[in-house]
Amino acid sequence: MEPILLKNINTPDSHKVDVYLKNNGYQALASALKMQPDGVIQMVKDSGLRGRGGAGFSTGLKWSFIPKDPTIPKYLCCNADEGEPGTFKDRVIIEKDPHQLIEGMIITCYAIGAKTAYIYIRGEFAFGTKRLEQAIKEAYEKGYLGKNILGSNFDCDIHIHRGFGAYICGEETALLESIEGLRGRPRIKPPFPAIAGLYAKPTVINNVETLSCISHIVNKGPKWFSSIGPEKSPGPKLFGVSGHVNKPGMYELPMGTTAREIIYNHAGGIRNGKKLKAFIPGGVSAPMLVEKDLDTPMDFDSLAAKGTMLGSGGIIVMDETACIVKVAMRTMAFFRHESCGKCTPCREGIDWTYKVLHRLEKGEGKEGDVELLEKLCGNIFGRTFCPLGDGAVMALRGALKNFRDEFVEHVKNKGCIV
Amino acid sequence: MATVKINGKEITVEDGTLILDAARQAGFEIPTFCYQARLSRLGSCRMCIIEIGGQKKLQPSCVTPVMHGMEVFTENETVKSARASMLEFLLANHPLDCPTCDKGGECELQDFVFKSGPRRSPFSESKRRFHDKDKILSPVIIKNHNRCIHCERCVRICDEVVGRTALGSIGRGAKIMETSFMDSTLDCDHCGNCIEVCPVGSWMSLPYRYKARTWDLKEIDTVCPYCATGCQFTIGARNNEIVRVKSKITTGINKETLCARGRFGYNFIQSEKRLKKPLLKKNGKLVESSWDEAISFIKQRFGAGKKTAGIASARHTNEELFVFQKLIRDVFKTNNIDLDSRFANKWVTSSAIEVLNLAAGGISIFDALKAEVIFVIGSAISNENPITDYLIRQTAVDRRKTLILAHPRRFKLNSSANISLRYKPGTEGEVIKGITDFIEKGVFHGNVVGDISQVGEKFKNAKNITMFLGADILRLDNGTNVVAEIVALKGLLKKAGKNIIIQPLFDRCNQRGARAMGIHPLFLPGLKKVKENGMDCGEILDAAKKGEIDSLYILGEDIVSMYPDAKFAKDALSNIKFKVVQDTFLTETAKTADVVIPGASYAEKDGTFTNQEGRVQRLRKVISPVGNSKDDLDILCSIGGFAYKSAKEVFDDIKKEVLGYKDINFDALDGNGALVKGHGAENQGSRVKGQGASEIASASPRNDTSSNPYLDEYPFLLITGNHLFHSGRLSQNDDVLIKLLAEPFVEISEEDAKELGLTDKENVKVKSSEYEAVLKLRVVKGSQKGVAFMPENFDSVSVNQFYKKGQGIARVKIEKQV
Amino acid sequence: MTDFLKKILFIDLIKGLSLTLKYNLSKSFTIRYPDEEKWLPYQRFRGLHTLNKDAQGRELCVACELCAKACPTKCITVVPMEDNNGIGIADRIAKIYEINLVRCMFCGFCEDACPTTAIRMGREYELACFSLDCAKADKQRLLAPQEIPVEFEGGYVIKARLERTKEGIRVRPDLTKKKRWW
């Protein structure tokens, strides 16, 4: 497939506006501004674009929830708080092709009637922030941002808001709280952000990759977009492959490409000719899959059928040297560190599971520990305030489901067998 | 209306009712930690999760509203096991040190674990531990982070109700900590509401620390004796010793909240300095004597007729005050009786009584707060009436309401106000007149900082308006002017068809009751006009100075320390031949007395208080009077020879005399008290005919504060009032409150401080024509320029020494101390 | 006939006297208390309470007042206080710990209620005295180690001596000389 989102990244100085303009940049904006906002929304709806942040909700539908009343201020927030371990797709776009994102954001603002947009960028992306700031400055200079964009009477401002190192701020309502200057932690839903989001006003929150697709949809039409990949979740997708592969990296492929093709054809197969033990299809909160699942098409629905999820598309590959208990422990350590501490099951439950896994890993496992882990998972799952707790439990459940023996071995042998 | 089925039981509730409330209405208990009725919804503890028919996930009932036709299960196995698992999670890191925890026995976590918790936990890891020693965060608050279950009630009550925002969460995940800024010593209102709402023993009261277990306590519901908001609280005593004060979520207008004074100001009761025996002056010295001797001495020496007088404090119960006025009027045969209330003259107080319509029935503060516009003038409400401040703050959150605060000082409630007005003390009348003029003519004059036109607009557009009138206006010589302006504004608004409620804000617990009991030179009980006008406080002292007063009975008032001109008050009192002081402490005034009688504190007697709304509430006896002191009612009865045996008998007599109290059943007074009723008393000729407020106002010349000869030399107007941690001179005897604020200070605005080159917390010299003192400076941003404030609560620097009789508001200059 | 013979030969008398003689020569059952001997009860005995300390000598009692709560006769008074000098195992210790022995019925509920095994029923049972003062066991008295160590096995009669001093009468046991009673 021809790269779409990544088509510019190998061009020298691809982050500069001149280079972007040379590659037909900001043409989509010009043509979108000539359309009615509703037309843009319809176009995105027709394209079948689904959110790339993980949940896979239809983007056009999300936009259409925004009230049309022009007197109410509305906001667009770009979620660039890419904190999921194994995920690094947004970073590439921000650092290499920021104008692609900005153009998408301006079109989105136009479509939903927002005059202000925020980019909530992960605090660790210092370089990316610099690039974005530069790009926004250039966009203002060229008149793509600010008052009366391209003579269309449409105003738009973009602000960058840097996060401070909290994974939970990737959750949309926590992100809003953080922008408002409050403690970054999720809000009660309902009301949903489309009704009362940022500063209690209607707000759309989209992922960087989602917003980057917009300009291409406007340029080439929704038909072209929906022709890529499977019917129900079309479009190009960025797959970040990491772990025990020969060529880890970012691969842009159509949705629905099988895991086998991504790992073996594109990422060059398993390192040192070892055997694949397990792979996580979409960031650590997605339950892991094993070799027999390699032929699953990587799209929202097929993976959901397998009990896992596409998530952010960050594929983590583990060969036979990996100890799954240790993997589970590391995963839980991450979630334990990143739990915001608001709700009981997530705060206490994940801490507890981590402590049990840590003991198992150290070889101090006890009879009944595996059952205890399963029980804890059951007590956490579905009872937490936001999906963070569920994500942690799903990851652990995936490991327990596929590699229960290994956990039992740890209890019996008081140590690792790998 | 929505009909829902809860555990098979159908119930119809209003739309938008939370499932939790609906279930509780239906009689099903759902445990909660983070839910508290008056706080914002958090939904974090997950204790209240319930099953909704057709939904896979369990839902938190404290944030989910009901929907018509919903089927809810709160008691099935899934829910029960989920509940148990939440408790298991909470207990995982909760230290099981219940035997040493002060909350043990009334801990919500303990109760829920007992009711629905797991009996055994598989948790075998090491528990999270922040510290070994509990952290002392303030002189009254101690925190144990290990026990915290992170319901954040403390954070929310501090933010949303108290308005201090002193608490927040630090850290995240299992290391989250709800505490002060960086876990440092608190600089807050020390109200202890965080302690009250804490479901476990994480926030604890330091004065109560390790004093008793809850089941040891004899707990009695009573009323707070400080300001006139009239908060209900529960005193816990062990072995005739008061060990704590606690508020109850179910009772009173305050519900679970209290202020620092109410919650921690009970230690003066057991103070070493309490008077325990009657004292008689023999050879110029006060010596201890017996009760019989003291009482017969008073009976023998106290005169009768016009040369006698009585001054009472508004801290006494209705019954005591009623008997006191009976004593003065019937036994001593004089109408020279007054209340100390900031030593206003009788025309100011009587006109205030008129405009506040105290003879009419009481209006609940909750009804008053339903108005769209709430206007507060003449009270630093956050310091004087903290709980009223909380109630107003919570109301002002509603964006459809407008809160207007008018006061020279900036205080806490200003952060919630829509409009803040600043003016020079003494020009309250101009502020009101400005509003009236703007509504009437569209123009106004006056030196008010703030947008009066905006206030006028809000008044114009509102249908219901509530005005809170503070006690500050009672201090003014031109108080009648202010009252007249209020009457004019009220008339204007009434004419425009608006509902207007005027509520008083008093600084003493029973000010309203005292007036109704006839503690006024112009009124008998029930605010009936006297035949022959008596003298007010100021006049009594004037007469005393001239030698026209022979005997004076002072009931619980410290005139020497509080009368605005200390020297004059002392001189005047020394001219009186026979003075009786009945008080709990040996005050400056008591030191000058011929007989000092030890009375009882609020926890040692029965009776009723009437708060500023007109709500009659029961004061109940908790412990017996300390030492050899006696119940004030007994003392007054034995001096006057009255046959009353209990407060209830007096109350029955009050019911006969005071119409408003007619329907109140003394024994049935519960946590919510009873509002007094009008019964047509307002039309009963109780008005001050011929010398009504408005007439006086129009006749008396307006005080022009700008033409003061001291203006250049003494640029600051000195105002005074209670500090948040103190009330009158009583609280300085409380060793806990004194830890919160031990010495007086002087507060000026930031602008003035900049001009004078002064900085916060430095020592400055405060000088008036009468007195000078060195005090710590406090600088407040946003207060009126040219105004200095000093708390009136300390003997060490008694504010009244700065005053000179006849000069109105004192003027001072503030200099750098070299 | 035989009855007559038995009568004149004093058979019954001899039988009876022989039994008397037999017991006269056998081991005595009388405990010569308090002059020479004293009964040392078993460890399970419920005598005067003791307040225990841990290995480092810190008081185990945290003044939780559960014993007072559990007491059916309400004979225990505990008033807690804060202490940061390491006297107790926690920063909460008993300011007052008092048992009214006249009211106490030695049921041992206090022992069961104690979460720190601070209060234990001891083996001292000589509680009679001449004034009511000694009927109150205060903290000091309860903390003082009892004469018979907890580890010492009971169920013996031990040597003892009655002592009359100015303070009163007491029986001093000699733990080294013990014997089974039966």
* DSSP output for A315-359: EEEEETT--HHHHHHHHHHHHHHH--S-SHIIIIIHHHHHHHHHH
Domain limits, CATH 3.10.20.600, in chain A: 236-319
Q: Which residue of A has its CA nearest to B93?
A: A348
Q: How far does chain B reach from its first CA to its final CA, in angstroms?
A: 72
Helix boundaries (H) for B552-700 = 559-562, 566-574, 588-591, 632-640, 647-657, 693-699
Q: How far apart are CA B147 and CA B93, in angstroms?
A: 8
Cα–Cα–Cα angle for B69, B73, B74, rounded to 5 degrees: 130
Judged by CB atoms closer than 8 Å, whether chains meet at B210 and C65 is answered as no
Q: Do chains B and A touch (3 or more CB pairs under 8 A)?
A: yes
CA-derived radius of gyration, chain C: 24
Give Cβ neighbours of residue A265 (< 8 Å, ≥ 6 apart): none
Q: Running DSSP on this structure, what letter comes out for residue B330?
A: I
Domain A236-319 annotated CATH 3.30.70.890: no
Are B422 and B393 in contact by the 8 Å Cβ rule? The answer is no
Q: How far apart are CA A166 and CA A111, in angstroms?
A: 30
Is A343 at the interface with chain B, CB within 8 A?
yes
| pLDDT > 90? residue A35 | yes
Give Cβ neighbours of residue B617 (< 8 Å, ≥ 6 apart): B223, B230, B232, B252, B608, B609, B610, B611, B669, B673
Tokens of B115: 């009711």
Mean pLDDT, residues A314-341: 95
Contacts of C64 in chain B (CB under 8 A): 98-100, 104, 213
Domains and CATH numbers, chain B: 2-75 (3.10.20.740), 98-107+126-269 (3.30.70.20), 279-351+510-607+623-659 (3.40.50.740), 708-816 (2.40.40.20)
Q: Which residue of B has its CA nearest to C81?
A: B210
Three-state DSSP state, A85: coil
- Give the gap in angstroms from C-alpha B168 to the nearest C-alpha of chain C: 27
User: What pLDDT does C182 receive?
Assistant: 64
Judged by CB atoms closer than 8 Å, whether chains meet at C69 and B97 is answered as no
- Reported as half-sphere exposure (CB side, CA atoms, 13 A), residue B421 has a value of 28
User: What pLDDT does C172 receive?
Assistant: 87
Instruction: Quote ipTM for the complex.
Output: 0.94
What percent of chain B shows pLDDT beyond 90? 80
The rounded Cα A43 to chain-centroid distance in angstroms is 23
User: What pLDDT does B681 receive?
Assistant: 53
Domain limits, CATH 3.40.50.11540, in chain A: 17-226
The class level of CATH for A17-226 reads: alpha beta
Strands C37-40 vs C156-164: parallel, antiparallel or unpaired? antiparallel
- Maximum C-alpha span of chain B: 90
Q: What is the mean pLDDT of each run of 10 residues along chain B (818 residues)?
A: 93 94 94 94 93 93 93 94 95 93 94 91 92 94 96 96 94 92 92 96 96 94 94 95 94 94 95 94 93 94 92 95 95 92 79 84 93 95 95 93 95 94 89 91 78 91 94 82 88 92 92 93 90 91 93 93 91 94 95 95 95 94 93 94 94 92 92 83 41 42 47 86 93 94 94 94 93 94 93 92 86 89
Domain limits, CATH 1.20.1440.230, in chain A: 324-413
Q: Running DSSP on this structure, what letter comes out for residue B580?
A: E
| pLDDT > 80? residue A124 | yes
- Give the gap in angstroms from C-alpha A407 to the nearest C-alpha of chain B: 18
Mean pLDDT, residues C25-35: 84
Burial A331-344 (b: 16+ CB within 10 A, else e): bbebbbbbbbbbbb
Of C69, C79, C90, the CB nearest to B100: C90
Q: How far apart are CA B634 and CA B613, in angstroms?
A: 29
Are B179 and B137 in contact by the 8 Å Cβ rule? The answer is yes
Of B745, B750, B749, B787, the residue nearest B762 (C-alpha): B745
What percent of chain B shows pLDDT beyond 70? 96
Which pTM value belongs to this model? 0.92
Are B250 and B671 in contact by the 8 Å Cβ rule? The answer is yes
Disruptive mutation site among A185, A340, A347, A358 for chain B (greatest number of B CBs within 10 Å):
A347
Of A150, A52, A156, A149, the residue nearest A109 (C-alpha): A156
Q: How confident is the model at residue A414 (pLDDT cuts 50, 70, 90)?
A: confident
User: What pLDDT does B217 receive?
Assistant: 94
Q: B342: left (phi > 0), else alpha (psi -120 to 50), else beta?
A: left
Of A183, A343, A356, the CB nearest to B169: A183
Is B133 at the interface with chain C, CB within 8 A?
yes
Q: Would you tell me the crossing angle of helices A404-413 and A350-362 to the nearest 10 degrees? A: 60
Domains and CATH numbers, chain C: 49-121+132-143 (3.30.70.3270)
Are A32 and A40 in contact by the 8 Å Cβ rule? The answer is yes
Judged by CB atoms closer than 8 Å, whether chains meet at B93 and A351 is answered as yes
Judged by CB atoms closer than 8 Å, whether chains meet at B100 and C62 is answered as yes
Question: What CATH code is assigned to A324-413?
Answer: 1.20.1440.230
Is C113 at the interface with chain B, CB within 8 A?
no
If you average pLDDT over every residue of chain A, what do you get?
Answer: 94
Mean pLDDT, residues C11-25: 90
Q: How far apart are CA B599 and CA A251, in angstroms?
A: 88
Strands A116-121 vs A236-243: parallel, antiparallel or unpaired? unpaired
| pLDDT > 80? residue A147 | yes
**pLDDT digit string, tens, across residues C142-164:** 999 888 888 888 888 889 988 88
